[in-house]
Structure 1
Amino acid sequence: MPAAHSPSPPSGSPAPSSPGRIRVGSAPDSWGVWFPDDPQQVPWQRFLDEVAEAGYAWIELGPYGYLPTDPARLRDETERRGLTVSAGTVFTSLHRGPDTWDSTWAHVAQVAELTRATGAGHLVVIPSFWRDDKTAELIESPELTAEQWRHLTTGTERLAREVRERYGLDIVVHPHADTHIDTEAHVERFLDATDSDLVNLCLDTGHYAYCGGDSVKLIETYGERIGYLHLKQVDPVVLADVLAEGTPFGPAVRRGVMCEPPRGVPALEPVLAAARKLDVDLFAIVEQDMYPCPPDRPLPIARRTRRYLRSCGA
C-alpha cells in the first residue's frame, strides 16, 4: 500500500505541520538469518519470541521458507506475540533481460502471495550480486552495459506493475553492496530512469554508507522516492579494511562490518529526522547483518538498539 499521508484539514483550516510516523521493526537478518534453513541459525520460534521480547511490533518475512509459509499458521504465530508483518523480500536478476522473467516471476509470486496474506503492503526487491559473496569470484561485471540498464529499469517497472495489479503490493528496491544498484551514482541513475508512480526505494542506511552514499542527502534530494527504510550502521574501521582488500560482502559481514548502533555510521538520528520531514508514514526496519552469529547474541543487541532508537524519537 502507498505510504499514508496525513489527512487533509477541514476547509478553511490551516494545514498541520505534524511529521510523518515512523513504524520501527526488526527482521530475521538481525538474528543472523540469511537462509530458509541453516543449522547455524536460530529456530524461527525463537526469533519470533525474542523480537517481540525486545520491544518490536513489526517484522519482515526474511528468506522465504524460514517462517511458516502457511498463511493461517503464520498469522496465528505472529498475532499471539503481538507482531505484524511489514514486508516480504525477493531477489531478482532483471538486468539479464526478458529470458529471466518466468523464473523471476515464479519466485516473486510465491513470496507476494504470502506477503499479501499477512496484510503487509510492501515487497522489498534486492538485485542479484555481481560476485560470489563467499569466494569473491566475479559472476559478472560490476558495471552494467546500456542495454542491461534498460533491462533492469524496464523489468523493474514491469515487476512493480504486475505485483501491484495481482497482489496489491508496492515494491521498494533495495540498493545493496556487491550489486549493480549500490553507489550514489548507480542509485540516482536507477531512480532517474524509472517511473516514480511504480518504483521506489528501500533505503538501507548501512548498505548505502558501505557503498559511499549519504542517506540524509538521498532523502533530501529524492524524498518522494523513499518508500521504506532499513536501519543499519557500518563500522568505519572495518569498512576501510574491507574496501582496501576487496573483500566480498559475505566475508565482510563475518568480520563485523555491520555493527550495533550507535557504534557506527551513519548517525541514525539525522536520518530519522530527515525521514520525518517527508510527512509520510514509513517503516524503519532494523537489519544488522551478522550471519552467522552465536544464538544468544541477537536478543541483547536488539533490546539495546530498540532503546537507542527510542532516544532518537522512533
Structure 2
Amino acid sequence: MVAKIGIGPDSWGVWFPDEPGQVQWQDFLDQVVAAGYEWIEAGPFGYLPTDPTVIRDELNSRGLNIIATTVMDGHLENPDDWPRIEKRTLEAGEFGASMDAKYLVLIDDVYLDLHSGERICSSALENDSWNRLIDSVNRVATITKEKFGIPLTIHPNAETHIETESHLELILEQTDPDLVSLCVDTGHLAYTGGDPVSFIRNHHNRVSYLHLKDIDGQILEDVRTNNLPMVRATEMGVFREPPGGLVDFKELADVLNDIGYGGWATVEQDMYKPALDVPFAIAKRTREYLKEVGMG
C-alpha cells in the first residue's frame, strides 16, 4: 500500500491566516497543482476562504481535495484559553465537515513566541496542568466526533507542551483510542530528539496521519549549542527537503509498507517568509522523491 500524499500552506511559509508578504491563497493552490499534488491541508483557519461554496469551487476547478483542518489556538492546559479553543474547534470542524476533511489536527500553542522567540510560559507542566491538557484534548475529540464525525489527531510540535516522544506516549496512555490518534510529524519529532521512523513502527496502531519533513543535522546542532528558538532555527533552514537529513525516508517507506499504511501524509517543508520563487521547486522535487522511494 502507498500513502496518499498532500501538501500544506506551511510549505510556502504560511504560518498565519493573514501576514504581509506571504503567498496569496490562489497562487498557493495553483502551485500545488503544478507541483503534482491532489490533496492539501487547509492551513491556518482563515488563510483559505471559509465560505464552503467559494473554496469548493476553487478546489474543484483544480482537482484538489482537503485532507485536514487545524486548531492551534490556545494552551490546552490553560482554562482561560478554552473558550477560544472551543470556538476554533467548532469553526474548523464545521468547515472540515463541509469539505469532507479526513481529520482535525490539534496542536498545543507554543511556549516561545512564534515571531520573537521570547518566552510566553513555562516549557514544562506540573501534573495538574498536564491533566488539564489531557482533559482539553478529550473535550476537543468529543466535539469533533459527535458534532462533525471527524477524527481528532494530535500533532507534536516543537516548543509546545506536546513535543517529544515521551509526551506522545503519555497521550496514548491517557486518551481513548476511539477518540484520539496521532499525526506524527517526522521533522518536529526529530527536532526534539526522537526517532520518528521507530516511533511510527512501534505505535502504528494509533498513528492515523503523517506530516513529512526532514531535519538538517548540522543546523540542529548549532541551534542546540546556541539555545536558539524554533523561529530562528526555521529561518536558518533546520527543516529541509528530503533526502539528506536526519529522517530516513526510504526506511520510513519500508515501515509504512510493512504496516499496511494507506492513509494520508502531508508534506510540510516548514519555512518562514521565504522568497516567493523558492517553495514551488522544493514542493515539486519532494513529490518526485516520495514517488521514487515508494511512499506514494
State whether TM-score is above 0.5.
Answer: yes
Q: Which residue identity is paired with 1:85?
A: I
Q: CA deviation at 1:281?
A: 2.5
Residue among 150, 154, 160 paired with 2:135 = 154
Preserved CA contact (<8 Å) 1:231 1:268: no
Q: CA deviation at 1:133?
A: 2.8
Provide TM-score, normalisation by structure 2: 0.96
Q: Which residue identity is paired with 1:201?
A: L
Q: CA deviation at 1:273?
A: 2.2
How many matched pairs? 294
Partner of 2:117: 136
Q: Does 1:247 align with 2:224?
A: no
Partner of 1:110: 91
- 3-state SS in 2 of match to 1:106: helix
- Cα distance in 2 for residues equivalent to 1:225 and 1:205: 15
Q: Does 1:264 align with 2:245?
A: yes
Q: CA deviation at 1:141?
A: 1.4
Preserved CA contact (<8 Å) 1:134 1:251: no
Partner of 1:10: none
Q: CA deviation at 1:135?
A: 2.9
- Cα distance in 2 for residues equivalent to 1:166 and 1:150: 24
Preserved CA contact (<8 Å) 1:172 1:227: yes
Q: Does 1:175 align with 2:156?
A: yes
- Cα distance in 1 for residues equivalent to 2:112 and 2:31: 33
Identity %: 43
Runs of 4+ off more than 6 Å: none
Partner of 2:55: 74
Q: CA deviation at 1:298?
A: 1.0
- 3-state SS in 1 of match to 2:193: coil
- Cα distance in 2 for residues equivalent to 1:163 and 1:297: 36
- 3-state SS in 2 of match to 1:309: helix
Q: CA deviation at 1:278?
A: 2.5
- 3-state SS in 1 of match to 2:124: coil
- Cα distance in 2 for residues equivalent to 1:144 and 1:274: 33
Q: CA deviation at 1:280?
A: 4.1
- 3-state SS in 1 of match to 2:77: helix
Preserved CA contact (<8 Å) 2:197 2:248: no
Preserved CA contact (<8 Å) 1:121 1:168: no
- Cα distance in 1 for residues equivalent to 2:259 and 2:137: 24
- Cα distance in 1 for residues equivalent to 2:264 and 2:228: 31
Equivalent residues in 2 for 1:192-207, closer than 5 Å: 192-207=173-188
Q: Which residue identity is paired with 1:213?
A: G
- Cα distance in 2 for residues equivalent to 1:27 and 1:208: 18
* Cα displacement string for residues 45-93 of structure 1 (whole angstroms, at most 9, x for unaligned residues): 1100010110001000011111111101101101111110000011142
- Cα distance in 1 for residues equivalent to 2:145 and 2:178: 11
Partner of 2:77: 95
Partner of 1:11: none
Preserved CA contact (<8 Å) 1:112 1:123: yes
- 3-state SS in 1 of match to 2:97: helix
Q: Which residue identity is paired with 2:75?
A: S
Q: CA deviation at 1:300?
A: 1.0
Q: CA deviation at 1:153?
A: 1.1
Q: Which residue identity is paired with 1:94?
A: L
Equivalent residues in 2 for 1:293-312, closer than 5 Å: 293-312=274-293
- 3-state SS in 2 of match to 1:105: helix
Provide TM-score, normalisation by structure 1: 0.91
Preserved CA contact (<8 Å) 1:90 1:107: yes
Report the more deviating stretch, 132-141 or 51-60: 132-141
Q: Does 1:31 align with 2:15?
A: no
- Cα distance in 1 for residues equivalent to 2:246 and 2:60: 34
Q: Point out where structure 2 has 5 or more consecutive residues left out of the alignment.
A: none
Q: Does 1:57 align with 2:67?
A: no
* Cα displacement string for residues 89-114 of structure 1 (whole angstroms, at most 9, x for unaligned residues): 111422113x4322211111111111
Q: Which residue identity is paired with 2:114?
A: D
Q: Does 1:282 align with 2:274?
A: no
- Cα distance in 1 for residues equivalent to 2:67 and 2:60: 13
- Cα distance in 2 for residues equivalent to 1:36 and 1:184: 29
- Cα distance in 1 for residues equivalent to 2:266 and 2:97: 18
